[in-house]
Amino acid sequence: MSGLGKPTVVGAAPQGASDPRSAGRAVREMFTSIAPRYDLLNHLLSFNVDRVWWRRTARTFRHILARPEARILDLCCGTGDMTFALRRQAGTNVAQILGADFSHAMLQRATAKAAASENGTRPGWIEADALNLPFPAGYFDLVTSAFGFRNLADYNAGLREIARVLRPGGECGILDFGEPKGATGSLYRIYFKQVLPRVGTLLSGVRGPYAYLPASVERFPEPGEMLARMRQAGFAEANWTPYTFGIAGLYRGKLA
Ligand SMILES: C[S@@+](CC[C@H](N)C(=O)[O-])C[C@H]1O[C@@H](n2cnc3c(N)ncnc32)[C@H](O)[C@@H]1O
């Protein structure tokens, strides 16, 4: 046990996965299966609050996004909404913003969305596994991940890989769901565990992913444990800011 109320976990464990390799495969297949309706369901099921969270995260890193030489990586970018929020915050300032994901279908949608947007400066996209990134050490100034990190098959390995590709003094921002406490938490749990899986399954036409979502959030380390793991991975500074009563929150880390 972690001593913080949840068993110590290695990483995500979708139903039927017996080890990190099969967990990674199952996660990729799951997101690929819902890619066509991912955006619609995301905005619907979050009542569009997800847009506010992506913007807020991008604003947090405006000091990096204002630097013309900065290199930014958005991990587990999916259909690219966090990546686009970073791009918008950066304006035309930043040299390189890349979105990376291991689901080809999710990246195809990100590319199509970028092509449809009027913004002249588009992010780049790369198909890659967050646990084995094709970048040299110390390459990026900022690594973000929105609602993706929780799905990694090995959280400690994910944090080590983020730390590896960041330059000294580089920062990371991991935006993910949390478990709000108190009366708000009780109400939210009814929605998140009872309503959302049913509506998600009905509208996506795919059984599984929308039951996995609340289970993965329940399994994810509490903020105290996650921050301890970040420090262990080399982040000298690590803190967590709850968003919207703690329904989501931003883990922020900075290397020495
Ligand atoms: C819930 S979606 C989040 C997408 C986007 N960041 C957003 O905020 O909407 C999670 C994404 O993480 C990706 N993902 C999960 N594990 C990954 C890994 N090991 N490497 C790369 N991408 C991964 C999935 O393919 C999926 O597109």
| Structure-model confidence comparison of residues 123 and 100, the more confident one | 100
- List the single range of 38-47, 59-68, 122-131, 172-181 with lowest mean pLDDT: 38-47
147 Cα to the center of ligand 1, angstroms: 7
pLDDT digits (tens, 9 = 90+) for 53-94: 999 999 999 999 999 999 999 999 999 999 999 999 998 877
Residues 6+ apart with CB under 8 A from 19: none
Provide the phi-psi class of 169: left if phi over 0, else alpha when psi is between -120 and 50, else beta. Answer: left
129 Cα to the center of ligand 1, angstroms: 10
**By alpha-carbon position, which residue is closest to atom 8 of ligand 1?**
146
pTM of the model: 0.94
Mean of all residue pLDDT scores within the chain: 92
pLDDT digits (tens, 9 = 90+) for 160-186: 999 999 999 999 999 999 999 998 899
Taking residue 127's Cβ as centre, other Cβ atoms within 10 Å add up to 13
d(CA 109, CA 64): 27
Residues contacting ligand 1 via CB (< 6 Å): 24, 27-28, 31, 42, 76-78, 81-82, 101-103, 106, 129-131, 146-148, 151-152
Residues 6+ apart with CB under 8 A from 207: 201
144 Cα to the center of ligand 1, angstroms: 12
8 A C-beta contact, residue 178 and residue 249: yes
**By alpha-carbon position, which residue is closest to atom 26 of ligand 1?**
78
